[in-house]
Chain A
Amino acid sequence: MFEEPYRWVEAIRNRRDYLEEQLSAGSPIVGLSFEKGILLATVGAGTPKLYEIYDRIAFGGIGHPADMEKLRNTMLDMAHIEGFNRSPIDVTVRRLMKFGLAPMIKQAFEEVLNAPYIVKIIMAEINSTSEKPLFFRLNYDGVVEERGKNLILAGSSDMTRRMENFLSTVGETASFSFKDALRVALRTWAVSEFATASEGEKTDPSSAPTADQLDPLLKKTIEGRLIEVALLDRTQPGSSKYRMATEGEIETSLKGWLKYGTP
């Protein structure tokens, strides 16, 4: 069946279409820098999406929960063996991604007789030496992208672009407090809801919606859903800098904005 190379290319094309379709409805994850380090936020879709991998490394994904779980476990194993055999400082996302995860994903993608991983992954790291945050995005076909200030993981490239457009109108978030950073992150997330809600209308993907347009939609959408926020907080004592934001912290940030009460 695959003696003809053309058939393989066709199979890959079909595979891509299939995966794009599978991933398009995933709840996006917004990653950005704030004053204490890195904030990752998403609004709940059922299974938790944000996880700790190592002392300064966080992981998030869109896609099939079982595939995400397998990759999460692979990352955990690689990181901990490396941290034990060498040292925790030697465990970097760049190494884990480029030499560990990406080859594995690419291989699964192009071996058309086997199943691909139905996932898109975001990984974030605060570096102990340079203090500069790093974000990595890994696609189902094994392509790795590295970014410095923020990163959007969304189900489709169109959605990613829309959300990135909005985020760029906000500017630098590196000095923002938790409250302000969460506000930006949730609004950015809401761009995905806005785009879906206004699907019938002709909206120009390069023009970003405003906060006034997003806030009412956001308020309605988060009703009864879980807001998941993971932090890599360099001010946290101990070697592990990862923690989930508490319900209290999130509630306080929403008061006076999306919820009643004084912040």
Chain B
Amino acid sequence: MEGRLRMHDGDFWSLLKEKGYQLGPASLPPGMESAVGRVSITEGTTIFSLKYKDGVLVAGDRRATAGTTVMYDRTDKVIDIDRYSVMAIAGVPATAFEIARVMEHTFKYYRRSQLQELSLEGKVRALSKLLKENIPMAIQGIGAVAPIYAAFDPQRKEGKIFFYDILGAEFEGVEFATSGSGSPAIRGVLHYQNRWSGRPLSELSEEEAVILTIRLLETASEFDAATGGVNREAHLYPLIKLVTSEGVRDIPQKKLESLYTSKVMVDSH
């Protein structure tokens, strides 16, 4: 029987590392130069999150580009992590999807092993730690991820939004957060809307928040080639999820289609 005793603290990441898992190479093997700039790496995006009346809305466009090539137009950039939280990814999908997968498994493992749910603070920090593991790749320009993590805290009955830089620093978005190449185009709009529209974002109903979301992503796609807009012929709409006291819910595509024609494109509020 093995002599070494591992303290069972519910840490999935250290278990993975014990088994030899690596998020990515810590450094390029000797003799291999960085190919950044010569190799097209898939990225480009607009993602954002805002607090509305019932909780948190998280949205992302559907486009993934590598240089000027559209890699995929149906990317799901908002990922369910657990019952009350989602992660929206900006940056390199390869690393981001992997991070989301590790996080999902980490929270489940912790809960099952320690017989209690990991706190929201613990979860926010877990993502930060994973991003820090990714720093070598991020610095070399091959795997930078700047996600948004949004959750509903069922105890405090409030939504929370956190966004991160590529080095893993956590910031709380008090009213909203944006990330990705298309985010500058909409960051100002969100601020203006929240401050001077007469209706702060936190007072918006679900439908109002969804309409605003579609308009924002259309705006982002106007000014950022790497952000995909709505494509009615292809039935292509952004991915929008709501996180409330009832958990995570997707807005079905049919709903987005009907809202698009009946309300989004109609000039009124």
Q: A residues touching B (Cβ–Cβ < 8 Å)?
A: 51-55, 73, 76-77, 80-81, 83-85, 108, 114, 237-238, 240
Contact = CB atoms under 8 A, between A and B. Distances in A.
A207 to B, nearest CB: 41
Interface string B1-36: 100000010001001100101000000000000000
B167 to A, nearest CB: 25
Interface of B: 1, 8, 12, 15-16, 19, 21, 83, 101-102, 105, 108-109, 112-113, 115, 247
A73 B5 CA distance: 12
Contact of B12 (A80, A85, A238): A80
18 contacts: A51-B112, A52-B112, A55-B108, A73-B113, A76-B113, A77-B15, A80-B15, A80-B108, A81-B16, A81-B19, A83-B105, A84-B12, A84-B102, A85-B21, A114-B1, A237-B247, A238-B247, A240-B108
**Ranked 4 nearest A-B pairs via Cβ:** A80-B109, A84-B105, A52-B112, A73-B8
B1 A108 contact: yes
B20 to A, nearest CB: 10
A238 B83 contact: yes
Contacts of A52: 112
Contacts of B83: 238
B101 A84 contact: yes
Contacts of A54: 112
B123 to A, nearest CB: 16
B14 to A, nearest CB: 11
Contacts of A114: 1
Contacts of A238: 83, 247
A240 B15 CA distance: 21
Nearest to B112: A52
A52 B108 CA distance: 10
B1 A76 contact: no
Contacts of A83: 105
Nearest to A69: B8
B16 A84 contact: yes
Contacts of B108: 55, 80, 240
Given A80-B105, A81-B15, 5 more contacts: A51-B115, A80-B12, A80-B15, A80-B109, A238-B247
A250 B89 CA distance: 42
Contacts of A55: 108
A6 B101 CA distance: 53
A76 B108 CA distance: 10
Contacts of B1: 108, 114
B214 to A, nearest CB: 26
Contacts of B12: 80, 84
B112 A53 contact: yes
B102 to A, nearest CB: 7
A201 to B, nearest CB: 42
Contacts of B8: 73
A108 B1 CA distance: 8
Contacts of B247: 237-238
A108 B108 CA distance: 30
Nearest to A54: B112
Q: Which of B102, B108, B113 has the most CB of A within 10 A?
A: B108
